[in-house]
Structure 1
Amino acid sequence: MTGNSSPEPVATFCGNCNCGCPQLFVDETAAVERRVVITDDFGQRVEMSADQFGSLLEEAKAGKLDAVATA
């Protein structure tokens, strides 16, 4: 995401079209607190630490984000 080479996506969310679906990256060249990157199909990005991303995963696994998927 920074530097000369772009990291490969770790995951693509949707992937059923060719519209620039949201993607998850790990940017090893970024500062530790900005290493996990989520991009969306509108050109925006969210940068967070691995710890913050881990917290997000824990919340999702606990079902705390289920209502968002049906909103």
Structure 2
Amino acid sequence: MTDINSLEPVATFCGKCDCGCPQLFVDESAPAERRIVITDDFGQRVEMSADQFGSLIEDAKAGKLDAAALA
């Protein structure tokens, strides 16, 4: 597992504070099935493939995640 501090962030979610907002990274050194890394502000991380991340993006664009954003 690559140290998060060695990865270049792609996107920061929130960014309106200094609480360690969730971030999106691409880990080029990871196996393909674990290349996309999302961290949360509690130090946890989710690793997934680019295909899985693409599916998540498609669902978000189609509005399938809108209810989760209101929770």
TM-score by length of 2: 0.93
Give the ranges of 4+ consecutive aligned residues of structure 1 lying more than 4 Å apart after TM superposition: none
Structure 2 regions of 5+ residues with no counterpart? none
How far apart are 1:6 and its partner, in Å? 1.1
Determine the structure 1 residue equivalent to 2:26.
Answer: 26
Question: Which structure has more helix as a fraction of its residues?
Answer: 2
Determine the structure 2 residue equivalent to 1:48.
Answer: 48
The separation in 2 between residues aligned to 1:65 and 1:59, in whole angstroms, is 7
Structure 1 regions of 5+ residues with no counterpart? none
What secondary structure is seen at the aligned counterpart in 2 of 1:67?
helix
Q: How many residues align?
A: 70
1:65 aligns with 2:65: yes
Determine the structure 2 residue equivalent to 1:16.
Answer: 16
How far apart are 1:7 and its partner, in Å? 1.6
How far apart are 1:2 and its partner, in Å? 1.8
CA RMSD of aligned residues (A): 1.4
